């Protein structure tokens, strides 16, 4: 293996927009990030590509995230495994750790929490935190997710379905410049740099869903 080659990270999430957002957020000169949609694809990709770390969503078609983690841990004990989930409960965290995950990140915690967790496991620093402590830390203090306005939510929800600015403007009876204004404000609130990233971030924080009307 070329020691100068970028570290390979695998994303396992069945929402394409979330995968694309994570790839854009986490990719750098030091990291190459690829994505797959199912647990079966992940098993094949890990065997073929030999990534350093895998980021796993717990809700996957065909195979649960916990089953995938257990299989990956058994077949590739050196692999670093990060859970990225909408669920934040002691039961979910404990089941993930028991399956073999190294660290658990709630999607509502945002990109910085994920980047910190990923960097830590890649450097061999596994966070010593009980399920109860992790849930308390992520739920305590200030709200984890900024609040979007109803119009910003509508704009992002339509964009997540693939609507263009013109189509969003027509549906909401506003101008295209107003659509772009709401999109820009949402980017600023969620710390995103692109349309794809802001949609992915909004979905991860459960501010919108991909199939929102």
pLDDT tens digit sequence for 156-172: 999 999 999 999 999 99
The boundaries of every CATH 3.40.50.2300 domain in the chain are: 7-138
**CA–CA dist 53, 209 (Å, integer):** 27
At residue 123, does pLDDT exceed 50? yes
Give the architecture (CATH level 2) of 7-138: 3-Layer(aba) Sandwich (3.40)
Q: How far apart are CA 67 and CA 56, in angstroms?
A: 11
Separation of alpha carbons 31 and 22, rounded Å: 12
Helical H segments across 27-110, by residue range: 39-49, 65-75, 90-99
**Tens digit of pLDDT for each residue in 31-60?**
999 999 999 999 999 999 999 999 999 989
Q: What pLDDT is stored for residue 127 in this prediction?
A: 66
What CATH number should be reported for the domain whose range is 150-204? 1.10.10.10
Q: Contact 116/105 with Cβ under 8 angstroms?
A: no
Please list the residue range(s) of the chain that carry CATH number 1.10.10.10. Answer: 150-204
CA atoms of 94 and 153, how far apart (whole Å): 33
Is-contact 82 119, C-beta < 8 A?
A: no
Burial class of residue 90 in the structure, from the number of CB atoms within 10 Å of its CB (0-12 exposed, 13-18 middle, 19+ buried): middle
Q: Which of 189, 158, 190, 194 is nearest to 173 (CA)?
A: 158
d(CA 33, CA 22): 8
Better-predicted residue by pLDDT, 55 or 124 = 55
Distant-in-sequence, close-in-space partners of 150: CB < 8 Å, separation ≥ 6:
none
């Amino acid at each position: 293996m070329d020691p100068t080659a970028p570290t390979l990270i695998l994303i396992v999430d069945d929402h394409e927009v979330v995968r694309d957002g994570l790839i854009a957020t986490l990719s750098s000169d030091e990291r190459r990030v690829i994505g797959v949609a199912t647990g079966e694809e992940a098993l094949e990709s890990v065997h073929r590509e030999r990534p350093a770390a895998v980021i796993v969503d717990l809700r996957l078609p065909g195979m649960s995230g916990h089953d995938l983690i257990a299989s990956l841990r058994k077949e590739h004990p050196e692999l670093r495994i990060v859970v990225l989930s909408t669920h934040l409960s002691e039961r979910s965290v404990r089941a993930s750790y028991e399956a073999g995950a190294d660290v658990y990140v709630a999607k509502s915690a945002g990109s910085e929490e994920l980047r910190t967790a990923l960097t830590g496991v890649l450097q061999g620093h596994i966070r010593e935190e009980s399920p109860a402590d992790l849930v308390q830390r992520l739920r305590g203090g200030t709200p984890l997710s900024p609040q979007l306005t109803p119009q910003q939510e509508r704009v992002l929800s339509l964009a997540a379905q693939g609507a263009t600015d013109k189509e969003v403007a027509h549906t909401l009876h506003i101008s295209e410049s107003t659509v772009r204004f709401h999109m820009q404000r949402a980017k600023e609130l969620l710390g995103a740099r692109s349309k794809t990233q802001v949609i992915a971030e909004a979905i991860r924080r459960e501010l919108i869903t991909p199939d929102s009307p």
